Amino acid sequence: MDSSMLTPGDPTAVTLRYDVRIPMRDGVELSATLFRPKGQAEPVPAVFTLTPYLADTFHSAGVFFATHGFPFLVVDCRGRGGSGGDFRPNMGDGVDGHDVVEWVAQQDWCNGKVAMGGGSYSGWNQWATAGTRPPHLASIMPRCASCPGVDVPARNNIIDQYGFQWLTYVAGRTLQQNLFSDHLFWAELWKERFVAGKAYSSLPYELGRADPHLMEWIAHPEQDAHWDSCAPAPADYAGMTHPVLTVTGAYDDNQYGTFAYYRHAMAHGSPAFREGLYLVIGPWDHYGVGAPQPKVGGVEFGPASLIDFRSLSVEWYRWTMADGPRPAFLKDRVSWYVAGRDEWRHAASLEAVTAHRVALHLGSGGAVNRLATPGRLSEVADAAPGADTYVYDPRDTSIAELEASLPFLDPAETRLVAAQDGKQLVYETAPFEADTEISGFFRLDAWLSIDQPDTDFRVLVQLVAPDLGCIQLANDTKRARYREGLRSAALIETSEPLLYRFDGFSFISRLARAGDRLRLVIGPYNSIYIQRNFNGGGVVSEESVADARPVAVTLMSGGRYRSVLWMPVGAGN
């Protein structure tokens, strides 16, 4: 992208209007800041972002887009900043977005073509708006789009603590920036609650008042109609006609939402709509999607990873709304970055990223709950059955102090896994004999037995490399009661092994060098940052340490129980 980078925005070339009032169908007015090219004589396509984070935080973006020819509006969500009404997270933005699109299209500075942009929450409300099918919506560009019920406020029905922290950030009409960003405060709070063994249902009251939004989230502990209403339905995708460029990263917390929208769009959209659906997957974390950095934690990437997204956005809007050429970067409908090669690949579909999958059979090797004595990951299954066990006691809080002291996300951080040595299961491959590109999604089919009605699992796939150390490639989680699906709970009533399919791993694309090894870690999802499952089988949010039950988890392998890790091998291998 270096050759096509656009100049930074020039504030002297922009006309700004503050607190522009946009009427909604129910009489509420939203507040917007409007940036226009100075001296604009003819109506042109326009772009807007609908945000809960206040218009002022997007000032530089407004200047940039107006400098490059697009009227740009930053619109405060209902109940936020200068907008009227009451803010209800992830609810109602689709209807409001529809009304903003149609209002913008009627202004004398707009030619009737309207696009949306933005990331995270503003990625979600682009899809929510698209689901209402506004006639003048010409294009959307959602980055790291969250999807309620899929990755916020919970992933795999395991709700996190961060949602409460975020709710304090957007409480009232302003931003509580200092409180939200005080990592030491929040880490200490999570640690104290974890050590005390408090029920998750007490969290809404933690700062002295009941948070109604968190209470609403807790009242919907699994995927249901409440969460379905936040995103487009299948019929909504079928009616979409505008082009879409959606972006995520290998270490983006919201890549699960991005892929949920993408897969629904591919499954339910028309052939013409699917032709205009573009997906970009970089190596970035959530904050790097849109503003890429050369590293995530201790993992570094090459210069090719540093895309200039503002320039790409302008190129995208010019192509989709102003008869410009297709952005040179978008060589096909799916583009992904291969770490270790420092290069981008392009294909017509997400499925084409992976050439084939290698079945790596788990094999027992004795004390496989130790990093020093791992079990086997091998293309040959053991003929004889094996059984490996770890015990998880929810009353064990020994991880809390260490976890609170570490960065929230660092794929090169190994101390947490090391601290759980003896309390998890570990399996490793032999060193790779040749360079192998791992690209796509892992899947684990594991035969597990538990002696309690419920527990939470976390699975990590790591690359152990002589030159890199140990880095996380992908992860997945599962709550045992949702083994059969996320829409209804079924407590485990047998001690016999059951097949657990972990098919929600995060995306990864990385070159494993000859001599590297693949490591699989299976253990409890035991963290200060999530809703704690005390294994009692009751309503998880209501349980506390008084309900805690130690659980013995046994993984069966070999013989009739083929526990298998499916490794995705890239098409460029």
- The pTM score is 0.97
User: Virtual CA dihedral for 300, 306, 309, 314, nearest 10 degrees?
Assistant: -170
Question: Do the Cβ atoms of 289 and 187 come closer than 8 Å?
Answer: no
Cβ proximity of 449 and 390 under 8 Å: no
- Say whether 311 sits in a helix, a strand or coil: helix
Q: How far apart are the first and last CA of the chain?
A: 25
Predicted pLDDT at 7: 85
The H or E element spanning position 122 is helix 121-131
pLDDT tens sequence across 183-216: 999 999 999 999 999 999 999 999 998 999 999 9
Which token pair is 472?
Answer: 């996380």
Q: Which two tokens stand for residue 141?
A: 């560009």
CB count within 10 Å of CB 452 equals 21
How far from 502 is each of 186, 445, 478, CA to CA, in Å?
Answer: 30, 6, 7
Torsions phi, psi for 411 (to 5 deg): -65, -10
Close Cβ partners of 43 (under 8 Å, ≥ 6 residues apart): 107, 108, 109, 110, 111, 112
Quick check: 475 and 506 in contact, CB under 8 A? yes
Q: Which tokens hold the place of 308?
A: 């200039």
Other C-beta atoms lying within 10 Å of the C-beta of residue 323: 7
Go through the chain and tell me how many residues it has.
Answer: 573
Nearest Cα residue to 80 out of 127, 29, 26: 29
Residue 573's pLDDT is 81
List, in order of start, the domains of the chain with CATH numbers: 2-151+225-349 (3.40.50.1820), 355-570 (2.60.120.260)
Query: What is the three-state SS of 274-302?
Result: HHCEEEEEEEEECCCCCCCCCEECCEECC
Instruction: Give, for 35, the enclosing helix (H) or strand (E).
Output: strand 29-37
Sequence-separated (6 or more) residues with CB below 8 Å from residue 228: 149
- The pLDDT of residue 3 is 35
Q: Which two tokens stand for residue 490?
A: 């079924």
Q: What does 492-561 look like in DSSP terms, one character per residue?
A: ---SS-EEEEE--PPPEEEEEPTT-EEEEEEEE---TTBPPP-SSSS-GGG--GGG---EEEEEEESTT-
Contact 486, 476 (CB under 8 A): no
CB of 158 closer than 8 Å to CB of 531: yes
Q: Which residues share a beta bridge with 378?
A: 361
Name residue 269's beta-bridge partners: none
Contact call for residues 325 and 319 (beta carbons, < 8 A): yes
- Nearest Cα residue to 506 out of 456, 454, 440: 440
Pairing state between β 72-76 and 29-37: antiparallel
Residue 6: per-residue pLDDT: 85
CA–centroid distance for 402 within its chain: 25
Apex CA 62: angle with CA 60 and CA 67, to 5°? 95
Q: Which two tokens stand for residue 237?
A: 């995708």
Q: Spell out the per-residue pLDDT of the chain, length 573, in tens.
A: 333 568 889 999 999 999 999 999 999 999 999 999 999 999 999 999 999 999 999 999 999 999 999 999 999 999 999 999 999 999 999 999 999 999 999 999 999 999 999 999 999 999 999 999 999 999 999 999 999 999 999 999 999 999 999 999 999 999 999 999 999 999 999 999 999 999 999 999 999 989 999 999 999 999 999 999 999 999 999 999 999 999 999 999 999 999 999 999 999 999 999 999 999 999 999 999 999 999 999 999 999 999 999 999 999 999 999 999 999 999 999 999 999 999 999 999 999 999 999 999 999 977 999 999 999 999 999 999 999 999 999 999 999 999 999 988 899 999 999 999 999 999 999 999 999 999 999 999 999 999 999 999 999 999 999 988 999 999 999 999 999 999 999 999 999 999 999 999 999 999 999 999 999 999 999 999 999 999 999 999 999 999 999 999 999 999 999 999 999 999 888
Burial class (CB in 10 A: 0-12, 13-18, 19+), 477: middle
- Name the amino acid, one letter, at 8: P
Do residues 517 and 430 lie in contact, with contact meaning Cβ atoms separated by under 8 Å?
A: yes
In 309-365, which ranges are continuous DSSP H helix? 309-321
Q: What is the pLDDT of residues 475-518, one digit of tens each?
A: 999 999 999 999 999 999 999 999 999 999 999 999 999 999 99
**Of 149, 159, 156, 206, nearest in space to 531 by CA:** 159
